[in-house]
Amino acid sequence: MPIRLTPTLGEQISQSPRTLFGGWICSGSPVVAEIMAGSGLDWLLIDMEHAPNGLDSVLAQLHAVSGYASTPVVRVPWGDPVTIKQVLDLGPQNILVPMVSTAEQAREVASAAHYPPAGIRGVGSALARSARWNRVENYLQNAAEHVSVFVQVETLEGIRNARTIAEVEGIAGIFLGPSDLAASMGLIGQQAHPDVVSAVKGAFEEIAAAGKPVGVNAFDPAVAREYAEAGASWMLVGADVALLARGSEKLAADFIPPRASGD
């Protein structure tokens, strides 16, 4: 029986009257992924770049969130065509590729994520969850409609090239990474620094001029709201591990007396 896939994040962004807010899943845990999926967040980032995730654990997390409305995005470790092919075959309809700083890099990412003649993605849909084992009608012919390919711009070079990156065919949108951007600006650990925020907002304008949606990572609520007002279409506003760390610290502070000086 034919299976109908859900709208991609790119489609959801284009149809939404507001910013879509998401949460980062860095724990590698399907249980935590399911808890996050049931929270009411619009989308979730399952991370392979800075989290203990391989193909098996990503698949388990995709299964865990599949019964919920939150849309999963998988961030691959880097723009390796083999990794992109393998991750797409796991069935996520949305991928994010980090550290893209030039239009040429973006073209290579787009090529890796699309079937010929548009790209070089290997054909294995009959064997893979991506096409639900050939239960998605005409998946090969319409695969580009079922996948949103996003790239992450997070260096000064990338900011300078933001418009040409956004203009690359096959790229659904740009996600900005203020943490690595701050480091590339000599402001490591200062992602809310006015110069970093200004650079991010400048990229917003360039990407919008290319007709592509722009997203950004912003855990500081005030900065997140500022970015939303400036035109961010989709944002990450928290992470599972950070929520657990801060929540457990609060428990300790609430219930455990402070140690006396000299203990």
Which letter, b or e, does each residue of 168-181 get, where b requires 16 or more Cβ atoms within 10 Å of its Cβ?
bebbbbbbbbbbbb
Instruction: Work out the burial of residue 129: count CB atoms within 10 Å of its CB; fewer than 13 is exposed, 13-18 middle, 19 or more buried.
Output: middle
Q: Rounded to an integer, what distance in angstroms lies between the CA atom of residue 236 and that of residue 132?
A: 28
Q: Mark whether 193 is an active-site residue.
A: no
Q: Cite the beta strand spans of the chain per DSSP E.
A: 20-25, 43-47, 71-75, 94-97, 148-153, 173-176, 214-217, 234-239
Q: How far apart are CA 140 and CA 75, in angstroms?
A: 23
Strand ranges (E), 91-132: 94-97
**Torsions phi, psi of 36, nearest 5?**
-65, -40
| Tokens linked to 174 | 């740009």
Whole-angstrom CA distances from 260 to 54, 122, 224, 250 are 45, 63, 39, 19
Catalytic residue ranges: 50
